[in-house]
Amino acid sequence: MTKKRLCYLLTFIAYFAMPLGVPFIKSAEPYILGLPLLLFWMVLWIFLGTGLMIIVHRINPSVKEETE
């Protein structure tokens, strides 16, 4: 898999994983880190999504090209 394709795959996961989990959350419990389950799911994906995009940025060939 090329770096560019890996970037697209990680971006795809960062974009679609959070919405796909929403229909399965039917209850406020269990509270995790003091948050209702749906809100915790949203916050979790802020961090996971940001982490994925940091990885994307580090391996994205366009960034290197522009810097050079």
Partner 1 sequence: MIISVGIIAIFLGIALFLGIIASRGKDMSLEQWTVGGRGFGSIFIFLLMAGEIYTTNAFLGVSGWMYGKGGAAFFNIAMLNYVIAYWLTPKIWAYGKKHSLLSQSDFFEKAYNSKILGTLVAIVGLAALIPYLVIQLKGLGIIVSEASYGAIDPKLTIWIGTIAMIAYVMVSGIHGSAWTAVIKDFLILGVVLFLGIYLPIHYYGGIQPMWEAIEAVKPGFLTLPDTGFSASWYISTIMLTSLGFYMWPHTFVATFSAKSGNALRKNAIMLPIYALFLLFILFVGAAAILQVPGLEGGAVDLALFKISTQTFNPVIVGFIGAAGLLTAIVPGSLILMSAATLLAKNVVKPIRPQTTDRQIGIIARYSVPVIALVALYFTFSGGGAITLLFLMGYGLVTQFVPAVVCSFLKKNPLTVQGVFAGIIVGVTIVGWQATTGAHLSKLFPSWPSYIQDINIGFLALSVNIIVSLIVSVFTRKLTAKNDEITDEKTVENLQ
Q: How far is the CB of 42 from partner 1 (least distance, A)?
A: 5
Q: How far is the CB of 2 from partner 1 (least distance, A)?
A: 16
Q: How far is the CB of 15 from partner 1 (least distance, A)?
A: 5
Question: Strands (DSSP E) along 1-68, which ranges?
Answer: none
Q: Taking Cα atoms as reference points, which of 51, 57, 46 lies closest to residue 6?
A: 57
3 or 15: whose CB is closer to partner 1?
15
Task: Examine residue 31 and tell whether it contacts partner 1 (CB under 8 A).
Answer: yes
CA gap 6, 11 in Å, rounded: 8
Figure out which of the listed residues 4, 9, 22, 59 binds partner 1, where binding follows CB under 8 A.
22
Q: Taking Cα atoms as reference points, which of 50, 60, 58, 59 lies closest to residue 17?
A: 50
